[in-house]
Amino acid sequence: MRKSVFVIVSGLLAMLALPGSLPAQPAPAAISSALAELELRPHAEEEIWRNLRSRGLPLIEDHPEDEGLRRVTFVIQVPHGTSRVRFDSVINAGMARQPVEDYLRDFTLPMQALGDTRIHHLTLDVPRDATAVYSFLIETPQGWRRLSDAANPAHLRGASAEAVLLADSATRHPAIMPIPFTLRFEPELLTVESAVLGRTVFLQHHTVGGAEADAPVLVLYDSFNWGVRAPAWEIVQHLVNAGAVPPMHVVLIDQLDTASARQDYDDQLIFLSEELPSALADAGIDGRRILAGASRRGLVASRTALERPQDVLGVISLSGSFYWSPDGQAPRWLTRRVPAARLDGPRFVLAAGSLEYVVTSTNAGHVMLDTNAAMMQALADAGHPAEFVLYQGGHDMAGWRQALAVSLERLFAED
């Protein structure tokens, strides 16, 4: 693990000011050469597009003045009939119009056409260690459509298969590499008839590294994200192989019910602390649990561990939505409710991205970096063993999958 990728802070939090996305930059030599070629041969669009693709997209270069940055040029050839093209990624944070009220207008960035062709481009300076998913938004007579970057070989998995920017491949955590197809295995499918949620909850269960019945159990919300887009069991398998974590069970919950917010997530607390452990015990899985999730799911995992810590080994919160509060309450509700730590209580790892400083109509100015820092401070003040992981990225799966790997390493670290 490179210290430039993840900053680990134990005990009292000392936040670091790290660079975010920078303003759009002049096009690189490859784009200038393409423009010059078009002036000589106005009908050479297809040849120029093939030449650009052959270089590997996006185009990534060292920054001419700052070793901490890389200059990245995103390029796409859009379908006929496209009137406008915009770029969508968390790396836009530094150029966002805040507060973000209209996402298309305030957060996405316009791309420039290459002459009179269907090729569009945008050049940004990004932190050298940044990783993020990105896509292109195109306006057609039928409305806006989202396109992935088919010219980029790096993608998440699943139907949407968003392209991934990894500004410097040396910063890729080895645990996020795919398991060879021949070594993959299907999960065991389990169901829980949840009285408190009023529905059948569908679970996916992987036994990783030959885990025994009493091995730790990583419980993650959102089986599409962690079962398809960035399979969590593969991350755990790599970490087990490296000796960084013990063999464990990985249990994925299908989703976080949106209606739970109206109940202040009390129903999720009961499900995680009562119904789920009982169902897992019936399936022969009775180890201590690691409650984990991203965004609202990190909030719910943290609250459950604080209020129902029995048999909870640890918490991994990825960009936890600690700005949230019930209707009529001031923001940062959970931060004000942190109880004193128990001697045998869980260990917390809170992760947030360096680009999570954008003010939106949802967070009302209580941005992720600030609210996660405040939650970390509250945990430390109450005596909870806790660490903060700051990753170079934002509120998306590319950053979260790397942060999950590092957070698991830190949860089981002996120092």
Give the closest residue to 280 by CA, choosing from 140, 163, 77, 288. Answer: 288
Domain span including residue 188? 175-411
Give the closest residue to 388 by CA, choosing from 400, 376, 402. Answer: 376
Residue 7 lies in a domain: no
Place of tokens 């996006």: 58
Contact between 268 and 293 (Cβ < 8 Å)? no
* Residue 250: predicted pLDDT: 98
Residue 96 lies in a domain: yes
* Residue 10: predicted pLDDT: 45
What is the domain-level CATH number for residue 259?
3.40.50.1820
CA dihedral over 256, 260, 262, 263, signed as positive or negative: negative
Report residue 303 as tokens. 């609250």
Same-domain pairing of 294 and 211: yes
- 255 vs 31: CA distance, rounded Å: 43
Angle, CA of 121, 127 and 132, to the nearest 5°: 65
Same-domain pairing of 235 and 94: no
Q: Mean pLDDT by 10-residue block, N- to C-terminus, for the chain (415 residues)?
A: 46 44 75 94 96 94 93 97 97 94 97 97 94 97 95 87 92 94 93 98 98 98 96 98 98 98 97 98 97 98 97 98 96 97 95 96 94 97 97 95 97 87
Q: φ, ψ for residue 127 (rounded to 5)?
A: -55, 140
Residue 4 lies in a domain: no
Same-domain pairing of 226 and 375: yes
**Model confidence pTM above 0.85:** yes
* Residue 295: predicted pLDDT: 98
* Residue 414: predicted pLDDT: 81
Q: How many residues does the chain have?
A: 415
Same-domain pairing of 121 and 142: yes
- 327 vs 409: CA distance, rounded Å: 37
Contact between 69 and 126 (Cβ < 8 Å)? yes
Report residue 194 as tokens. 């949840």
* Residue 23: predicted pLDDT: 66
Q: How many domains does the chain have?
A: 2
Contact between 196 and 275 (Cβ < 8 Å)? yes
